[in-house]
């Protein structure tokens, strides 16, 4: 979520009033902001997306609510020590979190473990779940919406409250799992997922019934939007409640369930797919397991009846297979809608990853390209740009971001360009000040700010970015013509690695080590600086997004489902250097190919190369002296020349994400960008084209799409 104070104040319309009132007491509102923790209730893009959706729900008064856990410790904070990532627990609730209200009387009791006798769950371990409602304020409309966070406590229903029980209750809401894009089947994580899925469903059923409505009409009033597979258990839990508590027959319960649940897929990385081991799933959730078995029996029966698939294919599609429960498969079968999060991503789902499911249920599949809330990522973070836009095109764009298109008219107007330039310099200065204050590194605001901030993952290819930087550095040291032609660059990285992700941590160490060497070199210092910002989070992002000239979106094509960082940068006037992946494809469509720097393999080429298995990274390396020299450089960074060998060997032997393969094209794209930056006026035109055509990427549009096609909610207040 990041911080709520400024967002809530601005949306309430009282920001200026409060600011001046504070001033009367000699208190700077910006200082007060720091009294609030970043609410780190998610891992990265997916969590931030949900936060953007809530902002819209409140601002457009849709009855849309978030449901999650009240983690005592949020996403870890990162320190870089001896160039390595060190994780610290995030005790975010130690600072006052004034936005939440505990709703003791709305507590629920959730059953774990036990055994099943005649379809009845016996002797479960009860955990009490207590909701804390967090208020998210809408944009000057008098509406607040709720993010409901569940905390766990010992349940009065539980007779035996021994130490093991109390520990379990304590642990469930203790901390957020910091893994992004990888899946580790941990029992605690299953407990967490069941807790927030079950409470969400129980709460909705209780509300539905208390309003005197018929249980059979549930789908008329509710949709559970399953946001990636983490809440998949909503499906069997709803079945359980409808059958065991409401006394419905399986068929009736299934009809209601499949008309109520909708699924959003956020990733196609194989290592991220959630698959639970049958044995402990059965132990933790015995009744739910029984229901899943029955769901799967009927699913495979339906597949056979369709006579479309071979036995092998049916095995592959099955919800249970290889002694595992495949959550994505359950979601597709149990939902009336399945969507991807960018046009390319949805096409890949339909034609490759979920091809057979698409054959079976073509009507379920649809696309909802992600968006970001322009209220936080433009209005709140970039007052300088807001001022220019208001002056040139009026203020109606704030309500309807597609109106930014009118700014297009000014793309050749020199006076406007000068204003945009001043805006960019001011935002670069603010970021440079922050970096200097926190890390003591000085940046020249006239240099090109080239920024890659996102989770550290091999598919995002921070390593390719670094290899290019090493190449540039070496060239600056040896090639005078190159040096004379080089526009000064400041390369900025920010990224957290999952604590157990060895290669990602090694890459952070390499970036940090290289940056120290480069920053100390007085020969090249005026032309090249490299910063790894510590503890990248939402608040940091609010400084970073408006300060970029160039936005690095260089994932291996087909691997990034959408990306949203790319949109935040674009909306603030950065040009994208990127691959045709995720929503980059749509950014190019909106802003025009001539206003970005696109390079590298297409998603089709990537998939073909995987299929025919002919890629030989070592050959690429042997034919490219730039790569060889960069590897030599890496050997000189440590007294042990083999210190970074795992990174090198990974590239030479496998290079699963085609870093070496795309390197040449990436260097060329940078050369083009370097030339383009010299023509300030032309660059500003491109920057303005990005701003003017970023309207499509507001989450207001995304949510309108969800609502028109999937939810059909009416506004609470008009
Ligand atoms: C937007 C955002 C992300 C997502 O970035 P991608 O480049 O889309 O992966 C991750 N972390 C934070 C803090 C963000 O604000």
* CA–CA distances in Å: residue 170 to residues 125, 188, 303, 578: 14, 11, 43, 44
Tokens 């597949």, residue located: 303
Over residues 51-72, mean pLDDT: 93
Contact 149, 41 (CB under 8 A): yes
Q: In the chain, pLDDT over 90 holds for what percent of residues?
A: 94
Whose CA is closest to atom 3 on ligand 1? 45
| Cα separation values, 127 from 70, 148, 165, 196, 521, Å | 14, 17, 9, 12, 59
Going by pLDDT thresholds of 50, 70 and 90, the confidence category of residue 718 is low
* Strand partners for 74: 90
Å from CA of 87 to ligand 1 middle: 19
Instruction: Compute the half-sphere exposure of residue 211: CA atoms within 13 Å on the CB side of its CA.
Output: 11
pLDDT digits (tens, 9 = 90+) for 679-717: 999 999 999 999 999 999 999 999 999 999 999 998 877
Burial class (CB in 10 A: 0-12, 13-18, 19+), 444: middle
Cβ atoms 504, 498 nearer than 8 A: yes
Calculate how far, in angstroms, residue 662's C-alpha sits from the geometric centre of ligand 1: 23
Distance between CA atoms of 71 and 98, rounded to whole angstroms? 16
- What distance in Å separates the CA atoms of residue 70 and residue 104, rounded to the nearest whole number? 14
C-alpha torsion 81→82→83→89, nearest 10: -20
Q: What is the dihedral of CA 453, 455, 459, 463, to 10 degrees?
A: 50
Q: For residues 57 and 190, is the Cβ–Cβ distance under 8 A?
A: no
Q: Burial, 204: exposed, middle or buried (Cβ in 10 Å; 0-12, 13-18, 19+)?
A: buried
Cα–Cα distances in Å, from 140 out to 319, 599, 704?
46, 42, 19
| Nearest ligand 1 atom to alpha carbon 372 | 1
Q: Report the nearest atom of ligand 1 relative to the CA of 538.
A: 13
Q: Do 58 and 137 contact (CB within 8 A), yes or no?
A: yes
Q: Which residues are annotated as catalytic?
A: 266, 454-455, 460, 564, 568
Give the Å distance between the CA of 127 and the centre of ligand 1.
34
Q: Which residue out of 78, 453, 498, 567 has the highest number of ligand 1 atoms within 8 Å of its CB and is therefore the one to mutate?
A: 453
| Closest ligand 1 atom number to CA of residue 536 | 13
- Strand pairing report for 324-326 and 275-277: antiparallel
- For the CA of 49, the closest atom of ligand 1 is 1
Alpha carbons 552 and 530: distance in angstroms, whole number: 14
Atom 10, ligand 1: which residue's CA is nearest? 44
The residue contributing the CA closest to ligand 1 atom 7 is 565
Residue 268 pLDDT:
87
Q: How confident is the model at residue 658 (pLDDT cuts 50, 70, 90)?
A: very high
Minimal-distance CA residue to ligand 1 atom 9? 454
Nearest to 494 by CA among 460, 524, 520: 460
CA of 438 to the centre of ligand 1 (A): 21
Residue-wise pLDDT for 246-257, tens only, equals 999 999 999 999
Place of tokens 């004034």: 98
DSSP SS3 for 2: strand
Residue with tokens 């891992």: 43
Ligand 1 centre distance from Cα of residue 499 (Å): 18
Supply the pLDDT for residue 7: 87
Task: Show the domains of the chain with their CATH numbers.
Answer: 5-370+702-711 (3.40.50.2000), 375-605+657-692 (3.40.50.2000)
**pLDDT, mean of residues 166-185:** 93
The gap between the terminal CA atoms of the chain, to the nearest Å, is 27
**By alpha-carbon position, which residue is closest to atom 4 of ligand 1?**
45
Q: What is the DSSP letter of 553?
A: E
CA distance 389 to 385: 6
For the entire predicted model, the pTM comes to 0.97
User: Which of 380, 565, 584 should be mutated for ligand 1, with most atoms under 8 A from CB?
Assistant: 565
DSSP string, 140-175: SSS-EEEEEEEEEEE-TT-S---HHHHHHHHHHTTB
pLDDT tens digits, residue range 433-457? 999 999 999 999 999 999 999 999 9
Q: Whole-angstrom Cα distance, residue 557 to residue 551?
A: 16
- Is a pLDDT exceeding 90 seen at residue 206? yes
Question: Averaged over 611-629, what is the pLDDT?
Answer: 97
Ligand 1 binding pocket mutation candidate from 541, 556, 559, 569 (most atoms within 8 A of CB): 541
**Closest ligand 1 atom, residue 460 Cα:** 9
- Using the mean position of ligand 1's atoms as its centre, give its distance from the Cα of residue 566 in Å: 8
User: Smallest Cα–Cα separation from 427: which of 474, 492, 471, 488?
Assistant: 492
The DSSP output letter for 380 is: I
SS3 121: strand
Cβ < 6 Å from ligand 1: which residues? 44-45, 48, 454-455, 537-538, 541, 563-565, 568
Q: What is the pLDDT of residue 32?
A: 86
Residue with tokens 């319309």: 13
Q: What are phi and psi of 639, to 5 degrees?
A: -60, -30
What mean pLDDT do residues 662-677 have?
98
| Average pLDDT rounded to a whole number, residues 655-663 | 98
pLDDT at residue 33 in the model = 85
Residue nearest to atom 5 of ligand 1 (CA): 565
d(CA 479, CA 475): 5
Can you give 260-322 as a three-state secondary structure string? HEEEECCCCCHHHCCEEEHHHHHHHCHHHHHHHHHHHHHHHHHHHHHCCCCHHHHHHHCCEEC
Q: Are 136 and 155 in contact (CB under 8 A)?
A: no
Please give the number of the atom of ligand 1 that sits closest to the Cα of 453: 7
Q: Write down the pLDDT at residue 184.
A: 87
Ligand 1: nearest atom to the Cα of 45: 4
Residue nearest to atom 2 of ligand 1 (CA): 45
- What phi, psi does 352 have (nearest 5°)? -125, -70
- What percentage of the chain exceeds 70 in pLDDT? 100
* CA-angle at 121, arms to 120 and 125, nearest 5°: 165
Average pLDDT, the chain: 96
Cα separation, 599 vs 664, in Å, equals 9
* Average pLDDT value for residue range 621-642: 98
Counts of helices then strands in the chain (DSSP H, E): 31, 22
User: 269-307 pLDDT, tens per residue?
Assistant: 989 999 999 999 999 999 999 999 999 999 999 999 999
pLDDT in tens, 511-560: 999 999 999 999 999 999 999 999 999 999 999 999 999 999 999 999 99
**Smallest CA separation from ligand 1 atom 11, residue:** 44
Q: Is residue 29 very low, low, confident or very high in pLDDT (cuts 50, 70, 90)?
A: confident
Give the tens place of pLDDT for each residue, 463-475.
999 999 999 999 9
Can you tell me the mean pLDDT for 262-270? 94
In the reported structure, the alpha carbon of residue 663 is separated from the centroid of ligand 1 by a whole-number distance in angstroms of 24
What is the structure's pLDDT at 218?
97
Residue 612 in this model has a pLDDT that exceeds 80: yes
pLDDT of residue 252: 98
**Ligand 1 centroid distance, CA of 317 (Å):** 32
HSE at residue 651, side-chain half, CA atoms within 13 A, is: 22
Distance between Cα 522 and ligand 1 center (Å): 33
pLDDT band at 74 (very low <50, low <70, confident <90, very high): very high
Strands 575-578 and 597-598: parallel
- The 3-state secondary structure of 214-240 reads CHHHHHHHCCEEEECCCCCCHHHHHHH
pLDDT of residue 34: 86
């Amino acid at each position: 979520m990041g911080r709520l104070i400024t967002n809530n104040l601005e949306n309430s319309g009282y920001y200026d009033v409060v600011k001046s009132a504070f001033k009367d007491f000699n208190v700077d509102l910006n200082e007060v902001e720091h009294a609030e923790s970043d609410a780190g209730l998610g891992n990265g893009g997916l969590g931030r997306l949900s936060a953007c959706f809530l902002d819209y729900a409140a601002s457009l008064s849709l009855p849309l609510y978030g449901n999650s856990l009240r983690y005592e410790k949020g996403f870890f904070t990162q320190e870089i020590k001896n160039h390595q990532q060190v994780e610290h627990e995030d005790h975010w609730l130690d600072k006052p979190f004034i936005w939440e209200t505990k709703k003791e009387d709305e507590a629920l009791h959730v059953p774990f473990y036990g055994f099943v006798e005649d379809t009845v769950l016996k002797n479960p371990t009860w955990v009490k779940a207590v909701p804390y409602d967090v208020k998210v304020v809408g944009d000057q409309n008098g509406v607040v919406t709720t993010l409901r966070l569940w905390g766990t406590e010992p349940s009065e229903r539980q007779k035996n409250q021994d130490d093991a029980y109390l520990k379990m209750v304590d642990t469930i809401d203790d901390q957020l799992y910091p893994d992004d894009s990888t899946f580790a089947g941990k029992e605690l994580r299953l407990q967490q997922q069941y807790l927030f899925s079950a409470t969400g469903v129980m709460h909705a059923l209780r509300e539905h019934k208390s309003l005197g409505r018929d249980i059979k009409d549930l789908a008329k009033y509710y949709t559970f939007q399953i946001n990636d597979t983490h809440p998949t258990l909503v499906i069997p839990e709803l079945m359980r409640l409808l059958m065991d508590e409401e006394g419905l027959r399986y068929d009736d319960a299934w009809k209601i369930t499949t008309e109520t649940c909708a699924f959003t897929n956020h990733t196609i990385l194989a290592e991220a797919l959630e698959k639970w081991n049958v044995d402990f799933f059965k132990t933790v959730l015995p009744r739910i397991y029984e229901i899943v078995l029955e769901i799967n029996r009927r699913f495979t029966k339906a597949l056979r009846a369709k006579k479309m698939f071979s036995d092998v294919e049916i095995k592959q599609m099955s919800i249970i297979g290889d002694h595992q429960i495949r959550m994505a498969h359950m979601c597709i079968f149990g939902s009336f809608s399945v969507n991807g999060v960018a046009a390319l991503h949805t096409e890949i789902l339909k034609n490759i990853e979920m091809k057979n499911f698409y054959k079976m249920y073509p009507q379920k599949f649809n696309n909802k390209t992600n968006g970001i809330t322009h209220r936080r990522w433009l209005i709140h973070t970039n007052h300088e740009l807001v001022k220019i836009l208001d002056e040139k095109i009026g203020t109606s764009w704030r309500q309807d971001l597609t109106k930014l298109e009118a700014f297009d008219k000014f793309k050749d107007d020199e006076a406007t360009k000068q204003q945009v330039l001043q805006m960019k310099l001011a935002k670069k200065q603010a970021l440079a000040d922050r970096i200097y204050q926190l890390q003591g590194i000085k940046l020249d605001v006239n240099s090109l700010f080239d920024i890659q901030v996102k989770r550290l993952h091999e598919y995002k290819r921070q390593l390719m970015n670094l290899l290019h930087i090493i190449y540039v550095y070496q060239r600056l040291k040896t090639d005078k013509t190159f040096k004379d032609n080089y526009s000064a660059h400041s390369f900025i990285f920010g990224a957290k690695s999952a604590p157990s992700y060895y290669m990602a941590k090694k890459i952070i160490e390499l970036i940090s080590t290289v940056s120290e060497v480069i920053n100390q070199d007085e020969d090249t210092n005026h032309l090249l600086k490299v910063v790894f910002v510590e503890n990248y989070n939402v608040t940091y992002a609010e400084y970073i997004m408006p300060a970029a000239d160039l936005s690095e979106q260089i994932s291996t094509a087909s691997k990034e489902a959408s990306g949203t960082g790319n949109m935040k940068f674009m909306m603030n006037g950065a040009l994208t250097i990127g691959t045709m992946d995720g929503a980059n494809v749509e950014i190019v469509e909106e802003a025009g190919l001539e206003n970005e720097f696109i390079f590298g393999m297409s998603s089709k080429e990537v998939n073909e190369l995987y299929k025919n298995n002919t890629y030989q990274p070592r050959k690429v390396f042997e034919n490219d002296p730039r790569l060889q020299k960069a590897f030599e450089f890496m050997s000189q960074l440590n007294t042990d020349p083999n210190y970074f060998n795992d990174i090198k060997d990974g590239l030479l032997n496998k290079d699963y994400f085609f870093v070496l393969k795309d390197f040449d094209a990436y260097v060329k794209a940078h050369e083009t960008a370097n030339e383009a930056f010299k023509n300030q006026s032309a660059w500003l035109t491109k920057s303005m084209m990005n701003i003017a055509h970023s309207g499509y990427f507001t989450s207001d549009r995304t949510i309108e799409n969800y609502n028109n096609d999937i939810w059909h909610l009416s506004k609470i207040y008009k």
